[in-house]
Structure 1
Amino acid sequence: MNDKHDEQPICPWCHTEIVWDEEIGPERNCPHCDNELSGYRTLTLGGAEPDDELDDEIEGESDLEDDTWDEDETRDLSDLRPYNRDQLALEETMARILDEQLEAPECPSCREFMLEAGTQIITQEQFKPRTPAALGETIVSTPFQLQLYVCPSCFHTQNRLSVQDQERLVQLLTKAVDLED
């Protein structure tokens, strides 16, 4: 007995086996990485038969599988993602910028690497510090610097404490532990 659910699909993004719930049916998104699992992006191992829905798509695309093109035939290529010279130039420029950066955080929204846009210096006039009782002094003291990162795909921005201020914070927290002992 070879049931099509005996062979579990593998997520092409995180390479995790997708286990289907018999009552709910196939997953639309990977429960581990939340990427889409439908259509051409899904990899099913073991030669399982495609779903009925996929059969309809495959039947409708049979003319695209034909290797010969009739001279009078016009193909609709509007579904294909345009990948032109501008896109290649954009990706090349982003790669060069990322190579220059000390850090390249991942965008929390779309998981693309973020580009370092600059440094913001926070002065006493711009910041009202909080002094935790456990520490006895402020976590960061002015002036301090924040690195601004921007995502080139979804334009999400993110701030990160500068490396020098990160080191100062670690020293401060370590000193507080030494004072308790």
Structure 2
Amino acid sequence: MESTICPWCQTEIVWDEELGAEEQCPYCHNELKGYRTLNIQLGDEEEFEDEADGDEEGADYWEEGDTHLDAIRRVESFVAGGGDLLAYESGVEKVLDGQDEVPECPHCREYMLHAGQQEISGSSFEPVVPKGMQSPLLSGTLKLNVYVCSACFSVSRFLAEEERNTFIRTVSEKA
């Protein structure tokens, strides 16, 4: 029996001698004989823009209306306005390195930056008493951690650490 390793999924493929080698990996269904490399030449931004203007197919890709692509355009407009993308990315990395928690953005899966805390008082939060329980799961003043996505700039809020512990104790006692 002959064995091969798929260049795409790194899985060992053992072929039957009677059937012989196939053209597709049975696990990831990628071509085995057509393993290709894509070469991209980097040049001046002006050359890239000139090429992109003449390329109808590339223009369609950027006009699909995807939220993540809109965010990329915002970051690119920052760079076009004289901003330094490398400085932005290194600043994001520095902030992420200092965070205890690094949640992923629910929209684009990039890491989110901890921007601060928000306090919710009893007047803007009305707790609910779940069925089978005698008191609400959350009550009083709550603190939420506020996170901002560095790529698509969406905002997410999560219970602060002390609020999470209180929530866990409350649910455990009521169960």
Same fold, TM-score > 0.5, yes or no: yes
Query: Residue deviations 1:111-149, cap 9 Å, x none?
Result: 100011111111011111101132211111110101111
**What is the letter of the counterpart of residue 156 of structure 1?**
S
Question: Secondary structure, in 3 states, of the residue corresponding to 2:163?
Answer: helix
User: What pairs up with 1:1-181 in 2 under 5 angstroms?
Assistant: 4=23, 6-7=24-25, 18-19=28-29, 46-48=32-34, 76-78=47-49, 86-177=84-175
Q: Which is strand-richer, 1 or 2?
A: 2
Q: CA deviation at 1:91?
A: 0.8
Q: What's the CA shift for 1:169?
A: 0.6
Q: Which letter maps to 2:168?
A: V
Distance 2:161 2:128 in 1: 21
TM-score normalized with structure 2 length: 0.59
Paired residues of 1:7 and 1:48 also in contact (CA < 8 A): no
Whole-angstrom CA distance in 2 between matches of 1:87 and 1:49:
33
Cα RMSD (Å): 3.3
The equivalent residue for 1:30 is none
Cα-to-partner distance string for 1:60-90 (whole Å, 9 max, x where unaligned): x9xx88xxxxxxxxx9333699899811111
**Amino acid of the structure 2 residue aligned with 1:173:** V
TM-score, normalising length from structure 1? 0.57
CA displacement at 1:3 relative to structure 2:
5.7
1:114·1:149 contact (CA, 8 Å) conserved in 2? Answer: yes
CA distance in 1, matches of 2:116, 2:103: 14
Contact 1:104 1:113 in 2 (8 A): yes
Structure 2 CA distance for aligned equivalents of residues 131 and 110 of structure 1: 34
How far is the alpha carbon of 1:2 from its aligned partner? 6.2
Q: Could you say what secondary structure the match of 2:47 adopts?
A: coil
2: distance between equivalents of 1:91 and 1:107? 16
Go from structure 1 to structure 2 and tell me whether the alpha carbon gap of 1:142 and 1:77 turns closer, same or farther (over 3 Å shift): same
Give structure 2 stretches of 5+ with no counterpart: 1-19, 53-71
**Sequence identity of aligned pairs in percent?**
26
Q: Which runs of 5+ in 1 are unaligned?
A: 9-16, 20-43, 51-57, 66-74
How many pairs does the alignment contain?
124
**2:35, 2:161 → 1: CA distance?**
54
| Cα deviation code 1:147-180 (max 9, x no counterpart) | 1111011111111000000000111111113xxx
